[in-house]
Amino acid sequence: MMNYLLYIDPGSGSLLIQAIIAAIVGALFYFKNAWFYVKNFFVKLFKKSTSNQQSEL
Protein backbone atom coordinates (compact mmCIF):
# COMPACT_ATOMS: atom_id res chain seq x y z
CA MET A 1 0.00 0.00 0.00
CA MET A 2 1.35 3.40 -0.96
CA ASN A 3 1.14 6.32 1.40
CA TYR A 4 0.86 9.69 -0.29
CA LEU A 5 2.21 12.73 1.44
CA LEU A 6 0.33 15.74 0.17
CA TYR A 7 1.86 19.15 0.60
CA ILE A 8 0.48 22.58 -0.22
CA ASP A 9 3.07 25.30 -0.09
CA PRO A 10 2.14 28.56 1.70
CA GLY A 11 1.73 30.50 -1.56
CA SER A 12 -0.77 28.03 -2.99
CA GLY A 13 -2.57 27.70 0.32
CA SER A 14 -3.04 31.43 0.73
CA LEU A 15 -4.17 31.72 -2.90
CA LEU A 16 -6.75 28.99 -2.31
CA ILE A 17 -8.03 30.66 0.87
CA GLN A 18 -8.19 34.04 -0.89
CA ALA A 19 -10.18 32.53 -3.78
CA ILE A 20 -12.66 30.91 -1.40
CA ILE A 21 -13.16 34.16 0.55
CA ALA A 22 -13.54 36.15 -2.68
CA ALA A 23 -16.16 33.69 -3.96
CA ILE A 24 -18.16 33.95 -0.73
CA VAL A 25 -18.02 37.76 -0.64
CA GLY A 26 -18.86 37.97 -4.35
CA ALA A 27 -21.88 35.70 -3.88
CA LEU A 28 -23.06 37.82 -0.94
CA PHE A 29 -22.87 41.01 -3.00
CA TYR A 30 -24.62 39.33 -5.93
CA PHE A 31 -27.54 38.11 -3.83
CA LYS A 32 -27.76 41.42 -1.97
CA ASN A 33 -28.06 43.24 -5.29
CA ALA A 34 -30.62 40.74 -6.62
CA TRP A 35 -32.66 41.08 -3.40
CA PHE A 36 -32.60 44.87 -3.77
CA TYR A 37 -34.06 44.66 -7.30
CA VAL A 38 -36.78 42.21 -6.23
CA LYS A 39 -37.71 44.28 -3.17
CA ASN A 40 -37.67 47.51 -5.18
CA PHE A 41 -39.97 45.96 -7.81
CA PHE A 42 -42.58 45.05 -5.21
CA VAL A 43 -42.28 48.39 -3.42
CA LYS A 44 -42.95 50.21 -6.70
CA LEU A 45 -45.79 47.81 -7.55
CA PHE A 46 -47.58 48.32 -4.25
CA LYS A 47 -46.88 52.05 -4.24
CA LYS A 48 -48.61 52.37 -7.62
CA SER A 49 -51.61 50.30 -6.50
CA THR A 50 -52.08 52.31 -3.29
CA SER A 51 -51.69 55.64 -5.09
CA ASN A 52 -54.29 54.53 -7.67
CA GLN A 53 -56.72 53.58 -4.91
CA GLN A 54 -56.24 56.90 -3.14
CA SER A 55 -56.77 58.89 -6.33
CA GLU A 56 -60.07 57.07 -6.97
CA LEU A 57 -61.42 58.07 -3.54
**Is-contact 12 19, C-beta < 8 A?**
no
Per-residue pLDDT of 39-55, as tens digits, reads: 998 888 888 766 656 55
CA distances from 46 to 15, 36, 49 (A): 46, 15, 5
CA distances from 10 to 4, 13, 17, 41 (A): 19, 5, 10, 47
In single-letter form, the type of residue at position 17 comes to I
* Mean pLDDT of the region 13-34: 94
Q: Is the pLDDT of residue 24 over 70?
A: yes
How far apart are alpha carbons 21 and 2 in whole angstroms? 34
